[in-house]
Structure 1
Amino acid sequence: MVPVLLTSSQIFELLEKLNVLGDKSFQIRSTLLFEQRYPSKQYQVWVDLWPEFTSILIKQRLSEELIPIYYVFTLEEEKLKMLLENTDIMEWEHAIFRVYPIEFHEIIKEASRKFGFELMRSPFEFRLYIFNTDNLKKRYRAVPEDVIVGSLTPDMADTVTESWPALVYKEKKLALIRYLITNYQTVCLYNLKGAPVAYELQQKYGGLGMLFVKPAYRKRGLGKLITDLLLQKCADHGYPPFVLITAENEESGKLHTDVGFQKNDIIFLWSKVVPKEM
């Protein structure tokens, strides 16, 4: 099998083909849509065959200072394995796999071990919540008098990073968050003195994420307000609004369900490659 690197016009054809495969292909479709609008520094879409593909591997590098990120999809496990084992495509020593259905995990793990690496999965499993834009209406949610609606600015990347202490590799996360703020959709609420009190960002995989409200401003409906505003922005730009939420985060699940998102049963994972211990 000789993998095929798709052209821009072929990627549009691929999107049309993926539309008929339902929610299982939702994440890979979202990533492709996102890249068509906001091309990364490096962006390649590989398939096992064309036009009768069964497997997809996306290689994405947001900027020169960030390591490559991979997204995968398959209808036939052996064909995905062949893509993963192609050294002209993969950089295993730096590989990160984002937002893939749990059923693909063993395929990726087996391929990583073949090249002397282990696949370290996130400790969390994520559920997909999708907002049906067919039901989208211009909804009015009152903005409190003591806050002002705006967007994040790149100089606020430090503030966002500090709000998420669990994030590792701070310098790389800082570069990533600055990239997200510069290129993607965001919403930020400011108090009357101009200080940020709540925000949410569109993520590199196309979903909404990193919703944060300062403790003094919680229990006032600001999380729902921000989510409403950001999903409207995403929909206005042609992106299907969705979020990925851990099963443990019941509060976030309820918030997004109340806003109108619908929970999907597919479980998604994040993983990164680490050297195998000798």
Structure 2
Amino acid sequence: MEEVLTEGRNFKLVNEEELPEILEVLARYLPDSIKIHQTLQTYLKDRVWDFHFYVTKTWPEQLVVLHFPGMTQTPNGKLYESFSVFCPTEQLDDLELLFSENVLIDWTQPIYLNFTHGKIMERIQDFYADKGTAETLLGDIYVVDTSTDRPKDIDSLDGCVFPDQAEIMQLTRQHAQTIHDLYPANHMESVEIFEKLIDKLPCYGVFSASGDLAAWMVQSYYGAMFSMQTKPEYRRKGYGIYLARYLTKVVTERGYLPFVVIRPENDASKSLYTKLGFKKNFQTVRAILRPNEMNGDDGGQGGGTNAS
């Protein structure tokens, strides 16, 4: 088993009893901090995955937080080859501590970054420009808009009557493989992450009268609602919007701020979630950083949890 380091050059491992305080600090920067904030929240509540959180040795003066592993599957499965990072966008100069971190992070090897705030990623790419290349995947963070009055029926499930006596139920582990097989970014995921999410978090499916899994949606380890899929033969029955409304209600009741990650070209999802009271807040980026001397290697895409 890989050794968990208690500190790096510029960062220190957060002890268990310190995590609630870190969570409170991150809450001041919502929604920008939403991904790492709710990753930590889910970790404290449900322990979906064995994560490790680091903060600067100068915390809280310099508010940079690291989360290892930032993805749940990488080619070598090493703890420190993938991570997530958050820093307030008005304090991006503090990311210099990340760039000079040479104990926790080996910048001479491929790095797998889970979805990271676009402004933070810009700084990372500037730093990395003369060291290697970045393969990126963009997503837009849509968060439930609490700044205005939402339609009163947004969270109501009244009137959602399924045809053919379909019903909604919590998923079980036996459904993980089906979800993984049809997940658009399944080359970035392991089946195991879906199994763990189903074991610990709200993960629902719409089942036909014959018991066939027709559509599904799950809550991720970082609090997002993601992986909404409907099998082709069950489309245009309203299953998707019902699941989105249902999970939004459940996630809210569990103390989370509902959000989704939507790819920029996915107009259908943008329309659906806008109708449900979600609002785009910022762009996020998933990236693989490869040193110039390793760009010919076919290392594959690391894992993690992608969304809509």
C-alpha contact (below 8 Å) 2:134/2:287 kept by paired residues = yes
Equivalent position amino acid for 1:236 in 2: E
C-alpha contact (below 8 Å) 1:130/1:243 kept by paired residues = yes
**What displacement does 1:166 show?**
4.5
C-alpha contact (below 8 Å) 2:155/2:245 kept by paired residues = no
Structure 1 residues 45 and 183: CA distance shift in structure 2, 3 A: farther
- Matched residue of 2:55: which SS? strand
Structure 1 residues 63 and 277: CA distance shift in structure 2, 3 A: closer
- Matched residue of 1:23: which SS? coil
For residues 174 and 94 of structure 1, the distance between their equivalents in structure 2, rounded to whole angstroms, comes to 23
Equivalent position amino acid for 2:69 in 1: Q
Aligned to 1:37: 45
**What displacement does 1:221 show?**
1.4
Aligned to 1:21: 29
Q: Pick the structure with more helix per residue.
A: 1
**What displacement does 1:186 show?**
0.6
For residues 52 and 285 of structure 2, the distance between their equivalents in structure 1, rounded to whole angstroms, comes to 21
For residues 278 and 129 of structure 2, the distance between their equivalents in structure 1, rounded to whole angstroms, comes to 38
- Matched residue of 1:247: which SS? coil
C-alpha contact (below 8 Å) 1:34/1:239 kept by paired residues = no
Indicate the structure whose relative CO is greater, using CA pairs within 8 Å and at least 6 residues apart. 2
- Matched residue of 2:33: which SS? helix
**Runs (5+) with no aligned partner, structure 1:** none
**What displacement does 1:196 show?**
0.1
- Matched residue of 1:235: which SS? helix
Equivalent position amino acid for 1:34 in 2: T
Which of 4, 27, 32 is residue 12 of structure 2 equivalent to?
4
Equivalent position amino acid for 2:22 in 1: L
Determine whether 1:206 maps to 2:223: yes
**What displacement does 1:202 show?**
1.4
Structure 1 residues 246 and 63: CA distance shift in structure 2, 3 A: closer
Equivalent position amino acid for 2:14 in 1: L
For residues 267 and 35 of structure 2, the distance between their equivalents in structure 1, rounded to whole angstroms, comes to 22
Aligned to 2:68: 59
Aligned to 1:79: 94
Aligned to 1:130: 143
Cα RMSD of the aligned pairs, angstroms, is 2.9
C-alpha contact (below 8 Å) 2:134/2:289 kept by paired residues = yes
Equivalent position amino acid for 1:276 in 2: N
Sequence identity, in percent? Answer: 23
- Residue by residue over 1:41-82, the C-alpha shift from the partner in whole angstroms, topping out at 9 and shown as x without a partner, is 232232342232322212137589955441212243343232
**Runs (5+) with no aligned partner, structure 2:** 1-8, 295-308
Moved more, 85-94 or 69-78: 85-94
Structure 1 residues 217 and 52: CA distance shift in structure 2, 3 A: same
Structure 1 residues 221 and 67: CA distance shift in structure 2, 3 A: farther
Ranges of 4+ aligned residues in structure 1 off by more than 6 Å: none
For residues 168 and 57 of structure 1, the distance between their equivalents in structure 2, rounded to whole angstroms, comes to 24
For residues 161 and 73 of structure 1, the distance between their equivalents in structure 2, rounded to whole angstroms, comes to 28
- Matched residue of 1:240: which SS? coil
Aligned to 2:117: 101
For residues 130 and 91 of structure 1, the distance between their equivalents in structure 2, rounded to whole angstroms, comes to 33
Structure 1 residues 204 and 112: CA distance shift in structure 2, 3 A: farther
Structure 1 residues 38 and 260: CA distance shift in structure 2, 3 A: same
- Residue by residue over 1:60-111, the C-alpha shift from the partner in whole angstroms, topping out at 9 and shown as x without a partner, is 3758995544121224334323234323322554632122111112433355
- Residue by residue over 1:102-148, the C-alpha shift from the partner in whole angstroms, topping out at 9 and shown as x without a partner, is 1112433355578x6543212xx221111247968751242315211
Moved more, 55-64 or 159-168: 55-64
TM-score normalised by L of structure 2: 0.77
Aligned to 1:190: 207
Structure 1 residues 190 and 96: CA distance shift in structure 2, 3 A: same
C-alpha contact (below 8 Å) 1:199/1:213 kept by paired residues = yes
C-alpha contact (below 8 Å) 1:186/1:199 kept by paired residues = yes
Moved more, 148-157 or 24-33: 24-33
**What displacement does 1:269 show?**
0.6
Moved more, 172-181 or 209-218: 172-181
Structure 1 residues 91 and 2: CA distance shift in structure 2, 3 A: closer
